[in-house]
Amino acid sequence: MIFCIIVLIQSLIGNVNSKKDFRDIQKTTMENFIQ
């Protein structure tokens, strides 16, 4: 649960900086979550 909140914060920051970074964060998040 805490991990998801941290990811959401990072995603929001990434979305402000660049939408590409936002998608990269989503991909790495899913990969880490699966592993």
Q: Write the DSSP assignment of 11-29 as a string of letters.
A: HHHHHHH-HHHHHHHHHHH
Q: How many domains does the structure of the chain reveal?
A: 1
**8: amino acid identity, one letter:** L
Token output for 24? 């990269």
At 10 the pLDDT is 81
Q: What is the pTM of this model?
A: 0.38
Query: Is 13 in contact with 25 (CB distance < 8 Å)?
Result: no
pLDDT tens digits for range 1-35: 688 788 888 877 766 666 666 677 778 877 877 76
- Domain of residue 8: give its range: 2-34
At 35 the pLDDT is 65
